[in-house]
Structure 1
Amino acid sequence: MSTENEGNNEGNAVPPAPSAPPVPVDAPAASTHPEHGIPPRTGAHPESQEGDPTAVLPPVPPGAPDGTSAAHGAEPGAWPPPPPPATPAYANGGSGAGWGSTYQQPAPKSGGGRGGLIAAVLVAALVAGGVGGGIGYWAADSNDSSTGSTTVSASQSGGDFKRDAGTVAAIANQALPSTVTIESESGSGEGGTGTGFVMDKQGHILTNNHVVAEAVDGGKLSVTFPNGKKYDAEVVGNAQGYDVAVIKLNNAPEDLKPLPLGDSEKVAVGDSTIAIGAPFGLSNTVTTGIISAKHRPVASSDGSSTGKASYMSALQTDASINPGNSGGPLLDANGSVIGINSAIQSASNGLGGTGQSGSIGLGFAIPINQAKNVAQQLIRTGQPVYPVIGASVSLQEGTGGARITEEGAGGADAVEEGGPADKAGLQPGDVITKIDDTAIDSGPALIGEIWTHQPGDTVTLTYTRDGKTNTTEVTLGEREGDS
């Protein structure tokens, strides 16, 4: 097996992530990952039984590198290697640890979580009702002799007026009919709920791999539109490393309206964002925010029984994203899709002891430029293709970059003979600190950044050797499939 773009995790495994957006996790003490192309092996993660895929990122430990932490528990040289330092939890209805915290168990489908919320609301309503009744009686009594009404009616209200193009209401009105809720179920009946959106008129739906992972082998998928129409669906292809999947509706309707895809490279920090999904099973929920960072290195477990990890150079947003938002669109102010909501970072165990955390304003989305390329490849061949440099890098924290290990996964050479890195003159022990103009502070960051390219692309790597800084050009190779 090629060690290209793999990480070699020495004694650290990534905790399981529920069906909620991923959250970054603590980095292992020493780990290596065959640089780009082979996701690390992680422990199995229970799917959220609340029915909402979305990975949750745990809190960042003090002194941890920005957005990265190595996975714990992975066997040395095992494939795929464990995820890197920052491992967000999925946004499908489960939660995981990340950036210094451990993964949390997803909330059960049935239980007191939602009941408690309803009860709290009911009590508040009763109290308000009592107070309101008293005030109402006093007002009626004191104004018993008055005549006429002081009520003022608005000239326009609700649906009576037109929303201008570009407003959140107008964008939501256009996007909601093409955003769907996905229910995934394995052969044993396990599964959860996530989100997806219409990609083309042929009935292809773009979503996260961890949303449909349970249904890949003999499971069931159903897709429900906001108008209540429900369709069975099948997995066309899934890319675990990218956390992208394409499913197709059976007997797709002829009036499908694909969402327009934007250009994630042109997104700027501070741009407005709109997220649509089914947080905690509440379908067709719209939230807003901004792009709070770009090129955020994130590693997250997929919540499947194989327990592998995914890597992304993510768009960070403070739009509220919760378990169930996974796979849903992140839109810009023009209503174009700029990302796929995939992970969140969590700061606690959630309310009411459910073990499932909610949004703290740190959500992560796969840039749509990358997701589109992956989706098109999946539709053509059913298999993902990963760009690789043919070297194994450490997933350990504090290396000051992506350090090429002394040995690759399974005892293979750390630098593949005749591979891209070998041809470029890279050697074990070299520490890669930049790819083109993007700074690299860890193995996971290098993996996520390389995966934003295509096989055959030429990139410039800056690295240090024996205290000296050097640069070299590398033409990326390729690896097909996730195994």
Structure 2
Amino acid sequence: MDAFRTRTLRLVAPVVLLSSCAALLSGCSDSSSSRKDGSTTTQAAVPAAANDLQDDYLRVIKNVLPSVVQIQASKDLGSGVVYDDKGHIVTNAHVVGNEKHFKVTTANSQAEQTATLVYAYPDQDLAVIKLDKLPDGLKAATVGDSAKVEVGQIVLAMGSPLGLSSSVTQGIVSATGRTVSEGTGGGGTGATIANMVQTSAAINPGNSGGALVNLDGQVIGIPTLAATDPDLGDSAAPGIGFAIPASTVKTIADQIIKEGKVTDSGRAGLGITGRTVVNDDYQPAGVAVVEVRSGGAADKAGIRAGDVIIKVGDTDITTIISLSEALAAEKPGDRTKVTFVRGGNEETVDVTLGEI
């Protein structure tokens, strides 16, 4: 499994799983035929709705799959999406790791292309690489609007799960607006990512960096994480995967392509370095401020090194991950209250959030 990179995560907050039962209703007409003994046999016609849905699948796959590529680093393998006609490919930062050069295989050719890293942004687990030479027939994907994604929409996940290039799985959007945190073990970036799209489409190792596509043929997300179930020995929880929303992909990728780096993360920050602390029962109890950036949001609010942050707004803070998740729901410039412990006493201050 070390050869493939799809990050798994342990959910740090209870998740309500959505399930639904759908009845397929169709107005079928029967086709009848006569037998030699005079009796008749009846065969139900294939529902028109089923044919229409299959046609939609085939159309989307035909149009989008050529825009999904396989990315091979020296040891690891993942997927990517052709972002424009200049050869830029967007993928996950954990797919590229610390490497600079890659081999890329497109859907319509087995010939390997070479590509070079433009920039990786681990804080949002996104990266852009660029093909060194444009192959014939290269087709950029159409990136959709995350705001229009709804629970229940049918989606297709395209990529190279387990090294099986140009593979497609199907499912639905099972939730939106999830904030999830990625581990740091096994090559994970440790990113906390907001507004992720949750899907029942199978997300397996190698799918990372590929495409989550709606039936309009638009990429609505980049498959990135598969949930794990601690009760099953941290094995993947079936039917719970997460994709970085298209809006985040566009924001980050456009900056990387234009500036060669991310100049505006759009993510709120306190301007501190912190670590999780535990109480007398060895349970996580807050985030100790190790360092405060001069002129940052915390500095301006009077927060100092040694303070232990226990609440942001109405959200209790017990770990560095819970702090990251609380801030992921905010925007730079937002005002919020931060409660911390200093010298055994609780204090609350108003903070105007800065930017990571």
TM-score (norm 1): 0.55
Residues 151-300 of structure 1: pairs in structure 2 closer than 5 A = 167-185=56-74, 191-213=75-97, 215-216=99-100, 220-230=101-111, 231-253=113-135, 255-287=137-169, 288-300=171-183
Q: Could you say which residue in structure 2 is the equivalent of 1:379?
A: 257
How far apart, CA to CA, are the structure 1 residues paired with 2:278 and 2:226?
A: 21
Give the AA of the match of 1:464. T
Conserved? CA contact 2:73–2:96, under 8 Å: yes
Residues 110-189 of structure 1: pairs in structure 2 closer than 5 A = 167-185=56-74
Conserved? CA contact 2:79–2:160, under 8 Å: yes
Q: Could you say which residue in structure 2 is the equivalent of 1:391?
A: 272
Conserved? CA contact 2:310–2:316, under 8 Å: no
What SS class does the counterpart of residue 8 from structure 2 fall into?
strand
Q: Could you say which residue in structure 2 is the equivalent of 1:341?
A: 223
Any idea what the Cα deviations from partners look like across 1:201-241, whole Å, max 9, x if unmatched?
A: 1010000111122532xxx4111122124311111111122
How many residue pairs match? The answer is 319
Query: Structure 1 residues 279, 356: CA separation in 2 closer, same or farther (over 3 Å shift)?
Result: farther
Specify which structure has the bigger relative contact order, considering alpha-carbon pairs within 8 angstroms and separated by 6 or more residues.
Answer: 1
Structure richer in strand, relative to its length: 2
Any idea what the Cα deviations from partners look like across 1:145-187, whole Å, max 9, x if unmatched?
A: x99xx9999999xxxx9856993332222211111111111xx
- The correspondence for 2:334, drawn from 448, 459, 464, is 459
Instruction: Using the aligned pairs only, state the percent identity.
Output: 31
- The correspondence for 2:193, drawn from 280, 288, 312, is 312
Structure 1: segments with no counterpart, 5+ residues: 1-17, 19-47, 68-145, 186-190, 479-483
How far apart, CA to CA, are the structure 2 residues paired with 1:65 and 1:164?
A: 35
Conserved? CA contact 2:150–2:173, under 8 Å: no
How far apart, CA to CA, are the structure 2 residues paired with 1:332 and 1:434?
A: 36
Query: Structure 1 residues 463, 389: CA separation in 2 closer, same or farther (over 3 Å shift)?
Result: closer
Displacement of 1:325: 0.4
User: Does 1:419 pair with 2:301?
Assistant: no
Give the AA of the match of 1:321. I
Query: Structure 1 residues 343, 396: CA separation in 2 closer, same or farther (over 3 Å shift)?
Result: farther
Q: Could you say which residue in structure 1 is the equivalent of 2:310?
A: 431
How far apart, CA to CA, are the structure 2 residues paired with 1:459 and 1:401?
A: 27
Conserved? CA contact 1:275–1:329, under 8 Å: yes
Conserved? CA contact 1:402–1:446, under 8 Å: no
How far apart, CA to CA, are the structure 2 residues paired with 1:371 and 1:226?
A: 21
What SS class does the counterpart of residue 167 from structure 1 fall into?
helix
What SS class does the counterpart of residue 173 from structure 1 fall into?
helix
Q: Could you say which residue in structure 1 is the equivalent of 2:20?
A: none
Displacement of 1:423: 1.9
Give the AA of the match of 2:83. M
User: Does 1:330 pair with 2:216?
Assistant: no
How far apart, CA to CA, are the structure 2 residues paired with 1:383 and 1:443?
A: 26
